[in-house]
Amino acid sequence: MVTKATRALAAAGAAVLVGGCGGSAPDATAALEVASTASTAVPPGEAPADPAPVDVTWADLDDDGANDRITVQADPGGGWQLRADLASGTVTAKLPSDQPEVLEADRRVSDVDGNRVAEVVVPVSIGANAVASAIYLYDGEVGLVPVSGPDGHPFFVYEGGGATAVNGYECADDHDGRSLGLLGVTLREDLPPGAPPRYSGTYVAHAVVDGVVTPLESTAIDDVAADDPLLQTDPASCALAG
Ligand SMILES: [Ca+2]
Ligand SMILES: [Ca+2]
């Protein structure tokens, strides 16, 4: 699905995503750990590599009352995978990203569907000015799965945009439950030289049910200034209720 937000992100020069359409902040539960690496034989004369630091996010993905350790690590098939260590075992999901930056990008623990069970928002496309993130939840029958659009492809939320776009996401407790709102506006190109930037685009509220995102309502944003409240979004509004 190519949305206005997708185009806005592309305009901002973010890396291109692998498959699919559709946020994340530093989380208080994230902690920096040093991976415990098994000792491996090192040829004489070569210094052993330093163990790579691992960014850990903690969230109770399987709703058993205990926080689960969530990390990103190398995928055996190449690229990167998201890993969650649950009491019932480890589950993984290959990330739609080939950027090593996903290892240390800030993940957010969120509850975008409002069911009081955590999901984790994982940055997968990290550009200089914009970030796209996928949202992963734990499905007891399937495992770790990304929230998807109606087309079955992973759904991404976008933040940033640099000088030419503004993207963001937030949650609102309306629409008979929590909704996930995506802002995507681009700089108007018909402004006179030197004029303050003004933006046009859309704000689309979505319902998230059983891991599927469905658009509910699209609102046009037409010719607003950079400091307009319509362009302010707060991903913290998607936090899991305590
Ligand atoms: Ca758990
Ligand atoms: Ca949830």
No. of helices (H) and no. of strands (E), the chain = 1, 14
- Proximal ligand: closest to the CA of 86: 1
Task: Compute the distance from residue 161 Cα to the ligand 2 centre, in Å.
Answer: 27
Ligand 1 is an ion; its neighbours by CB within 5 Å are 60, 62, 64, 66, 68
Please, what is the Cα angle at 17 between 102 and 235, to 5 degrees?
60
Task: Compute the distance from residue 113 Cα to the ligand 2 centre, in Å.
Answer: 5
Characterize the bridge pairing of strands 143-146 and 119-126. unpaired
Please, what is the Cα angle at 155 between 151 and 159, to 5 degrees?
150
pLDDT tens for 189-231 read: 999 999 999 999 999 999 999 999 999 999 999 999 999 999 9
Q: Which residues contact 19 (CB under 8 A, 6 or more apart)?
A: 96, 153, 154
* Tokens standing for residue 42: 């090192």
pLDDT tens for 37-79 read: 334 455 566 665 666 668 999 999 999 999 999 999 999 999 9
- Proximal ligand: closest to the CA of 118: 2
Task: Compute the distance from residue 43 Cα to the ligand 2 centre, in Å.
Answer: 48
The Cα–Cα gap between 235 and 156 comes to 13
Assign residue 163 a region (left: φ > 0; alpha: ψ between -120 and 50; beta: otherwise): alpha
Q: Output the CA–CA distances (angstroms, integers) from residue 153 to 2, 6, 83, 199, in the order listed.
A: 12, 14, 20, 29
Task: Compute the distance from residue 59 Cα to the ligand 1 centre, in Å.
Answer: 7
Task: Compute the distance from residue 89 Cα to the ligand 1 centre, in Å.
Answer: 10
- Mean pLDDT of the chain, nearest integer: 85
Overall pTM surpassing 0.75 (yes/no): yes
Task: Compute the distance from residue 129 Cα to the ligand 2 centre, in Å.
Answer: 28
